[in-house]
Chain A
Amino acid sequence: MNEIVLQTFALSKNYGSVRAVAGIDLPVYRGEVFGFLGPNGAGKTTTIGMALGLIHPTSGQVELFGERVSPARVAPLRRVGALVGAPSFVPRFSARRNLQLVARLYPGVGAVRIDEVLDLAGIAHAADRPVKGYSTGMKQRLGLAAALIHHPELILLDEPTNGLDPAGMREVRDLLRGLAADGTTVFLSSHLLHEVEQTCDRVAVLNRGQIVAQGRVSELLGRQQVVRVRVASPAAARDALLQSGVAAADLRSNGSYLEVAGLPGETIVERLAAHQIYPAEVVAQGHDLEATFLELTKESA
């Protein structure tokens, strides 16, 4: 997982005086499911638009498979599948006809593959109905089918589960994990924290156009994890941890408990034991991505 398939270098986009994306550096490695998390208006779609050569960066650049991409240089996009925003198709045409049109761009993609992706996306039953009668969720599924039609090495998905019911969301998540298992790199932009938490290997959190955190999901959760330690003397435990290099800001006394942020329970026990302090109870507080995300975006605001 060392080859970088998508990389942004100090990528920025301004719309007049509004800075939509502010100098982001983002590596995405081959075979991973990368989560791009941020609240609405954070700059996720603009970043994807620049990666797809649809939007001109104000400064910085995007590389796909080591080649620069811009609206004037789009050759690497042949290896990419994408679903950006609400997917759009010729409304009067059926899903099958729309996919047949898309397939014409790729030699070797024929009727069999069209049937495969229709099936994969769960719209085979409605394949011959005009797209204009589709629900939002069905259009989303068709967009996913179109993104996958040419066996892309990298797929960029912007809110792919929009309009899907819970069962549909789960299907899409399973599909993405399956694609990653087969070697496809998945870039998943979403504001749905549980979606990213359940699907992605690594994640970048974007807020107001800036990346406020980036790393493995477990690392990000660990960074904000709080462990509650019950000891005979919280003050003595506090001193011991301060001496072992823990920052005062990461320690909080709470009655007979000491709360420690940013360290796993094993490390805390190890450090206290070095000072002959043995906790009676060690509880890792369940800190999910939602809490982490809210803290990160609050901090950066």
Chain B
Amino acid sequence: MFIRTLSIERTKLMRRPLPWILLAVLAATTVLMTAINYLVLNNNLAGNMGPEVMAEMEQQVTWPDSLFSAIGIAGGAALGGFLTVILSGTTMAQEYTWRTLQQWLGRGVPRPLFLAAKFVALLLPILLMVFVPLLVGGGLTALFTLSLEGSLGAGDVAWGSLLLRALATAYSLLPYAALTFLLAVATRSTVAAVGTGIAFALIVEGLLLQIAAMFSQALARLSLYLPAGLAQNLLQSQRLMQVSVDGQPVAGPELLSTGVAVTGIAVYTVLFLTLAVVLFRRQDLND
């Protein structure tokens, strides 16, 4: 039953334009940002910027660092989080507005199974949200690298680290998808679910992190346990294996262990989904 329902949900999701439009937006943004960096760098438009800024810009448009930078756009606090919230909220809330829930649940599909299948079906587009900018950005910066440096230096790329980072980025999007799922079930409204989800991912969470840091060290540490804080820690720990320009690992401030970050993200995801299931089971699905 789960596999059948998952297959239905996957078709319903991937045969509609929305995920492809969101992926196109992501790809276009990646192209735009990378191209702007390249143009600035290549035409000496950043002449009055410091050498450090110039070096950073060069890293962003040349391999291997450009590959890691390309994934950054898919992060929870970046465009990826925004688009994940739109996709997740719309997918679930439209079942209410289209009144299609009755179609499936009235056929003996258990409610928790239905929600689980719907969420699992979201994993593919979420993975694509990370791999599309990687492929588009990677392809484009391959050309820039050849143009600027004459060779790709593919041997310098830590491919394992790159794959791990991509997967970790996709993983860090899960709490946002689950939260929006919960909001969609609670409000039965696309606008309310997506609006609140975006407000949380892009505004509230960021503000909480900043305010906590302003008040005390303890609060700042506590705020690391928010989804954004956990994602930041997880991605920084992956970055330990990233190869920098001079071939040395780039170490970020790892405040929480990778295990804590992975577990925390899982806890948020499961918690939001469990709450969504509890609410969903209690709902009357009237005409």
Contacts and interface: CB of A to CB of B under 8 A. Distances in A.
A183 to B, nearest CB: 20
Interface residues of B, number: 29
Interface stretch (B49-57, B98-106, B156-164, B187-195): B98-106
A53 B285 CA distance: 9
A82 interface: yes
Contact of A82 (B8, B12, B106, B110): B106
Contacts of A71: 105, 111, 281
B108 to A, nearest CB: 4
B109 interface: yes
Interface residues of A, number: 33
Interface of A is mostly: loop
Contact of A104 (B8, B15, B111): B8
A147 B281 CA distance: 24
Contacts of B37: none
B7 interface: yes
A76 B100 contact: no
A56 B99 CA distance: 17
Nearest to B284: A55
A240 interface: no
B8 A105 contact: yes
Contacts of A88: 98-100, 102-103
A72 B281 contact: yes
A9 interface: no
Interface string B17-36: 10000000000000000000
Contacts of A97: 15
Contacts of A87: 103
Interface string A51-89: 011111000000000000001101111101010111111
A55 B11 CA distance: 27
A54 B105 contact: yes
Interface of B: 1, 4-5, 7-8, 11-12, 15-17, 98-100, 102-111, 281-282, 284-287
7 contacts: A45-B286, A54-B105, A54-B284, A84-B287, A88-B99, A90-B100, A101-B8
Given A52-B106, A77-B106, A101-B11, 18 more contacts: A54-B102, A55-B285, A72-B110, A74-B109, A78-B108, A84-B106, A84-B287, A85-B287, A88-B98, A89-B103, A90-B12, A90-B98, A92-B16, A92-B17, A101-B12, A104-B8, A105-B5, A105-B104
